[in-house]
Amino acid sequence: MPKQHINNIDLYYEISGQGQPVVFIHGLGSSTGDWELQTPFFSKQFQVITLDVRGHGQSQKPPGPYSIPLFASDVAAFIEALDIAPAHIVGISMGGMIAFQLAVDRPDLIRSMVIVNSGPEVVPHTLKEYWFVASRLLLVYLFSMRKIGEVIGGGLFPKPEQVKARQQFVERWAENDKRAYVAAMRAIVGWSVTEHLPKMNTPTLILTGDRDNTTVEAKEKYMAKLPQAELVVIENSGHASPVDQPELFNEALMAYLAKQAS
């Protein structure tokens, strides 16, 4: 199993294909498995690198606290260790937050970035937003990781024809280390780089499902603050767009990467 020793921990990664490097960063509680429907497709034209961030998958799970800047520091050191800068960065959910932070801290390492169903902050402002954060934390403290996976998986893949994806999600979620998961979740709450958006000159694609947890309008609002950004909406897709609409997702992402690679 390939691993890189980064910031005093071992990070697991997978690499395939040749061409300009594309680093895919998974979301909270996930792993390189997030991208299994993308790797074969994109490795035909790009060098595809997926990694498990600290506390996730087959990477080490040191005690917290974790933070989004720490995750970004890990990814920056990883990119330098593999000598693949500048790379295209694709991040979903928490992975998108890590990409945003990397664009603030180390823009020199990024050729372009793609933010999938994510945003530049997780700062609750309304009662509904506070309840969403509190309920997620409450779930973690009251139930097993498998039970949490069943709850989240039911929301991500609610359709009868998605039963296989739902079952796979639950099995993978059950493998999470609860302590590391809590540390990562706490890293997200309160994080923000919104004030830096007007200074981000990294070419950016905001790729969102039309039924994501946050609205298309919310994405349009922060996109307007970015100097070089565009938005693509994937129809009939929720928070797990690479899995629930892989063909549409891959087509949209490939079109953007091909443009940025030329």
Element (H or E) spanning 80, and its range? helix 68-82
Buried b (16+ CB within 10 A) or exposed e, 197-228: beebebbbbbbbbebbbeebeebeebbeebee
- List the single range of 90-99, 132-141, 148-157 with lowest mean pLDDT: 132-141
Q: Amino acid identity of 167?
A: Q
Give the full edge-to-edge strand order of the sheet including 110-116.
3-6, 9-16, 47-51, 21-25, 87-92, 110-116, 204-209, 229-234
Give me the residue spans of the domains in the chain. Answer: 3-122+191-261
Closest C-alpha among 38, 72, 96 to residue 223: 96
pLDDT tens, residue by residue, 213-252: 999 999 999 999 999 999 999 999 999 999 999 999 999 9
pLDDT tens, residue by residue, 24-68: 999 999 999 999 999 999 999 999 999 999 999 999 999 999 999
| CATH number at 3-122+191-261 | 3.40.50.1820
For the segment 160-179, the average pLDDT, to the nearest whole number, is: 95
Q: Say what percent of the chain tops pLDDT 70.
A: 100
For the segment 131-140, the average pLDDT, to the nearest whole number, is: 82
| Cβ atoms of residues 242 and 26 within 8 Å | no
pTM of the predicted model as reported, rounded to 2 decimal places:
0.96
SS3 (DSSP) at 141: helix
